[in-house]
Every structure is written in structure tokens, then in C-alpha cells.
């Protein structure tokens, strides 16, 4: 089976044309026009062959003139690896960036702080990347062993609270609390402050998958509104809706450099449900969505990256299909998104890491380093025993 990648966009103000993709390569468009007298099936086949032949260029600017942010395929494939790595349970390997998911496009990452809220099975880290040269903040999503229950809760237990200082903006209580009212936020803010003092005023990129994406969006908004950060980007993968339409609109204005990547029939971006006929009550995504899906004819399969409109709820993107797949939720850009120990929230550390960690009275863990000194490897030949900590 032959596969390729296509970037496509749907522009605000244009009437969507079913089945038509706006390619980054004009040569493909002209090729399609030259076959206008052929049958519909030949049109599809020739277009796919043309796109396959010119499939190296993947980035495409957004068509929304008032939206300053561009979707960047290369950046997405880098950030998805951080969003995957933060799931890992071995804190020693994660903190020293020697884990099995730490060697791809993220080589050279300089870890600053790793925080685990043991009480709530939450995990996040802050560090500085070489490429892009930026502070990277990554949040772990829901563990697979509780994913089904979590999805059911998003259907039926939609507890809302007012977002402070934003009038009628309502948000999901659980997502808001996970970021704002746990060990996570103070540890993240402390690490960012130390990173900026050492590295200067570099950009901040926040990422996460699933519930981690929801926390990443609250973090990006927090940094912009409460910490006056001017250079914050957010890119999430398979995140759920987090607030109502008022919140989505305000969020889009305050954190315009945001991309939500969704994958085919992934169930989570469809939750909590969107009710078209209850616009004031329903949850509403903020823009801008990039929808990944496949098109094909016979043995030809093309991976499309469709840049959606500025509404946050583009009916021609992920909302055009049924959100019924957990499998699509667990893989993005070919990268596994989930824990290496999906049966529980267990974490492990070797004795050296455990001795170097800071624990509060509730058992929550922070691993932090002094940026003025090189990172000392916390694993060695004579220190291979890992002490498990179960979080259920």
C-alpha cells in the first residue's frame, strides 16, 4: 500500500466543496484541470498520483487573514514526541532524557524540571530545546487504564465553572482544577522563571495530548494573562473541548498562536459533546484545528493535513465524521501516545533520583536542577534498581 502526505486548507468565508482539496502545489491543480473531460474516477486517480509525486512540502499557511499563526508540519512532528515522552513512568530516564522516546527529533533537550502530582496521576515537565530554540512545557494525558471511564465522564459529568475575570466564559471544572489547583502549576511557573533568567527571553511552546492538551491550553492562557508572556505558542494533540463559546472566543484572541491537531475518528476531540442547537450552553472548541485523515483509491492512500477554518468547530473537519475511535486517539503522526505502563499510574525511580527529588507531605514529587551546572546522570552501572511508586 502506497502512502503520502498532503496539506490542505479550508478558508473562512469560502463555501466548502465536498471532496475538493486545496493543495500547496499548483502543478497538481493544473493537472486536474487538464483532465476535466475524463471520468470522475480518473480525476481522483490522477490527482492522487500527482500529489504523491510532489509530497515533500507539507507546511501550508492558514487561509484566515486575521489569524497570525501558521501550521508547521515539522514543528508538529517534533512536539508530538514531547507529548509522547511525558507519559513515561521511569522518572530517572525521563529526567536525564535517556528514555526510549527521548532520542528522535528531541535530541539535545535540556530538562529543567519534572513534576508528578501523585494524588491526581498528573505529570509534566519543563525544559529547553535546541530546535526549535524554545522553552518546552509538556503535560501528560489520561492513563489508558482509566481512559474509558474518563471518556464516559466527559459525556455525562460536565461540571462547569466561571473562568476568573472572563465574565460569561465557562470551563470544565476538572480540566481547570488539574492545572490550577494541583502541584503542577507552581512547579511549572518556577521552572519557566528560572529558564528565562538563564536562557533569556526565548519563546515558550506548550504541548500535551488528551487531557494533557486541555491542561496545556490552560497553561498557555495562564502565561499570557497572568504572567504577561508575549511569545507563547500552544499545540495540542487529541484534546477535548474545555469551555463554552465565550471562552473559546476569548482564548482565541488572547492565545492566537494555537493549533489543535485532531486525528481522523479520534473520539476525544468530540467530547464533551457539541450541541449545535444550544449555542449558549454547549462546549465549543477554540481554533485552529488541523485535522489528520486519510483518503485513498485502491492501493493508494494519502495522509491529509487539513487546516480548518477559524470557528473552532469547522463542520468539514473532524466534526464531519463520527468520533468513535480510541485507536485514533492513541497514535498521532505515527507516534504512540500513552503510558509505557498502561495498567496503572505507577512511576519508578532509581535510588539516586529518589534521593535528589523533593517530596511534599502528600507524596507529590518534583525533580529540579540548577541550570548553572551540567546535568549529572542519575543512573549508573551500580544503581540500576528501580523503586516503584504506585498511584491508583
> pTM here?
0.82
**Ordered structural domains, the chain, with CATH:** 73-370 (3.40.50.1820)
pLDDT value at position 352? Answer: 80
What is residue 389's predicted lDDT score, i.e. its pLDDT? 57
Q: How many residues does the chain have?
A: 392
How is residue 343 written as a grid cell? 495498567
pLDDT of residue 269: 97
Provide the pairing of β-strand 335-336 with 331-332.
Answer: antiparallel
Q: What span, in angstroms and rounded, lies between the C-alpha atoms of 293 and 296? A: 10
Assigned C-alpha cell, 145:
487504564
Query: Where do the DSSP E strands lie in the chain?
Result: 2-9, 110-117, 122-129, 134-139, 160-162, 170-172, 203-209, 232-237, 258-263, 289-297, 300-307, 331-332, 335-336, 347-349, 358-359, 365-368, 387-389
Q: Which residues make Cβ contacts (< 8 Å) with residue 68, sequence separation at least 6?
A: 256, 257
Confidence (pLDDT) at 60: 33
pLDDT of residue 190: 96
* Beta-strand relationship, 110-117 and 365-368: antiparallel
* pLDDT reported for residue 21: 29
For the chain, the 3-state helix, strand and coil shares in percent, each to the nearest 5, are 30, 25, 45
Most distant CA atoms of the chain, gap in Å: 74
Closest CA to 263 of 333, 335, 339: 333
Q: What is the pLDDT along the chain (392 residues), one digit of tens a residue?
A: 555 556 554 333 333 333 332 222 222 233 333 333 334 444 444 444 444 433 333 333 333 334 456 899 999 999 999 999 999 999 999 999 999 999 889 999 999 999 999 888 899 999 999 999 999 999 999 876 667 777 777 766 666 889 999 989 999 999 999 999 999 999 999 999 999 999 999 999 999 999 999 999 999 999 999 999 999 999 999 999 999 999 999 999 999 999 999 999 999 999 999 988 887 779 999 999 999 999 987 788 889 999 999 999 999 999 999 999 999 999 999 999 988 776 667 788 888 888 878 888 888 899 998 887 766 555 444 455 556 555 44
Beta bridge partners of 336: 331
- Between strands 170-172 and 160-162, the pairing is antiparallel
Amino acid at each position: 500500500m502506497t502512502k503520502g502526505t498532503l496539506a490542505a486548507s479550508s478558508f473562512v468565508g469560502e463555501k466548502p466543496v465536498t471532496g475538493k482539496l486545496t493543495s500547496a502545489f499548483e502543478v497538481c491543480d493544473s493537472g486536474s484541470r487538464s483532465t476535466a473531460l475524463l471520468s470522475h474516477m480518473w480525476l481522483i486517480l490522477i490527482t492522487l498520483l500527482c500529489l504523491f509525486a510532489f509530497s515533500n512540502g507539507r507546511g501550508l499557511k492558514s487561509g484566515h487573514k486575521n489569524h497570525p499563526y501558521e501550521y508547521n508540519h515539522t514543528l508538529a512532528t517534533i512536539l508530538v514526541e514531547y507529548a509522547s515522552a511525558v507519559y513515561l513512568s521511569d522518572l530517572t530516564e525521563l529526567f536525564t532524557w535517556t528514555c526510549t522516546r527521548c532520542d528522535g527529533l528531541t535530541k539535545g533537550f535540556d530538562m529543567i524540571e519534572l513534576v508528578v502530582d501523585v494524588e491526581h496521576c498528573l505529570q509534566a515537565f519543563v525544559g529547553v530545546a535546541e530546535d526549535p530554540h524554545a522553552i518546552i512545557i509538556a503535560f501528560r494525558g489520561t492513563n489508558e487504564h482509566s481512559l474509558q471511564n474518563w471518556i464516559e465522564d466527559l459525556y455525562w459529568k460536565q461540571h462547569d465553572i466561571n473562568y476568573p475575570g472572563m465574565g460569561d466564559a465557562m470551563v470544565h471544572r476538572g480540566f481547570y482544577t488539574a492545572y490550577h489547583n494541583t502541584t503542577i502549576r507552581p512547579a511549572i511557573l518556577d521552572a519557566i522563571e528560572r529558564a528565562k533568567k538563564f536562557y533569556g527571553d526565548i519563546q515558550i511552546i506548550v504541548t500535551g495530548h488528551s487531557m494533557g492538551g486541555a491542561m496545556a491550553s490552560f497553561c498557555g492562557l495562564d502565561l499570557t494573562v497572568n504572567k504577561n508572556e508575549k511569545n507563547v505558542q500552544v499545540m495540542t494533540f487529541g484534546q477535548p473541548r474545555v469551555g463554552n463559546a465565550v471562552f473559546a472566543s476569548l482564548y482565541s484572541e488572547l492565545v492566537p498562536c494555537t493549533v489543535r491537531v485532531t486525528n481522523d475518528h479520534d473520539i476525544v476531540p468530540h467530547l464533551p459533546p457539541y450541541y449545535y442547537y444550544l449555542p449558549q450552553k454547549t462546549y465549543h472548541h477554540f481554533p485552529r484545528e488541523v485535522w489528520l485523515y486519510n483518503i485513498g483509491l485502491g492501493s493508494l492512500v494519502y495522509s491529509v493535513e487539513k487546516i480548518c477554518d477559524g470557528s473552532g468547530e469547522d463542520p468539514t473537519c473532524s466534526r464531519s465524521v463520527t468520533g468513535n475511535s480510541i485507536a485514533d486517539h492513541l497514535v498521532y503522526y505515527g507516534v504512540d501516545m500513552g503510558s509505557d505502563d498502561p495498567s496503572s499510574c505507577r512511576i519508578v525511580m532509581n535510588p539516586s533520583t529518589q534521593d535528589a527529588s523533593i517530596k511534599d507531605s502528600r507524596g507529590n514529587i518534583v525533580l529540579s536542577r540548577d541550570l548553572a551546572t551540567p546535568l549529572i546522570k542519575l543512573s549508573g552501572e551500580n544503581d540500576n534498581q528501580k523503586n516503584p511508586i504506585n498511584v491508583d
